[in-house]
C-alpha cells in the first residue's frame, strides 16, 4: 500500500462522523498506521541529538559503506523518535 493510501485509510477508519470531526484522533491514527508499516515521522533536518546518535554508531574498523550508512541512519531516526515520542493514547482518552 502506498503511504498516501495508508494515510487516507487511517483517517477514514479513525473518525466516521460528518460533523465535529476529531482531527487529533485522525492525526494519531495516521501516525500509528505509519508506525505499524515501518515508517516514522522525524524532522527534515536532523537535530543535534540525532547527529550525535548517528556519530555514536560509527564503529572503528572496516565496515562496508552500506552497513555504515544503515547504522548511522537507524541511530539518527531512533534518536529523533525519542525526542518527539508519539502519544500512545488519544489526549481526550487519557
Q: What does the pLDDT look like over 49-59, one tens digit per residue?
A: 888 887 787 77
Q: Look at residue 83 and tell me whether its pLDDT is greater than 80.
A: no
CA atoms of 84 and 75, how far apart (whole Å)? 15
Structure-block grid coordinates of residue 81: 523518535
Question: Are residues 62 and 47 in contact, defined by beta-carbon separation less than 8 angstroms?
Answer: no
Q: Where are the domains of the chain?
A: 1-39, 42-94
Confidence of residue 92 (pLDDT cuts 50, 70, 90): very low
Residue 39: CB atoms within 10 Å = 13
- Residue 90, pLDDT above cutoff 70: no
pLDDT mean over 29-39 = 87
Amino acid at each position: 500500500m502506498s503511504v498516501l493510501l495508508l494515510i487516507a485509510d487511517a483517517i477514514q477508519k479513525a473518525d466516521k462522523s460528518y460533523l465535529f470531526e476529531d482531527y487529533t484522533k485522525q492525526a494519531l491514527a495516521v501516525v500509528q498506521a505509519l508506525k505499524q508499516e515501518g515508517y516514522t515521522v522525524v524532522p527534515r533536518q536532523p537535530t543535534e541529538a540525532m547527529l550525535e546518535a548517528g556519530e555514536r554508531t560509527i564503529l572503528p574498523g572496516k565496515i562496508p559503506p552500506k552497513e555504515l550508512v544503515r547504522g548511522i541512519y537507524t541511530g539518527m531516526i531512533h534518536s529523533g523518535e525519542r525526542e518527539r515520542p508519539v502519544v500512545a493514547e488519544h489526549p481526550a482518552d487519557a
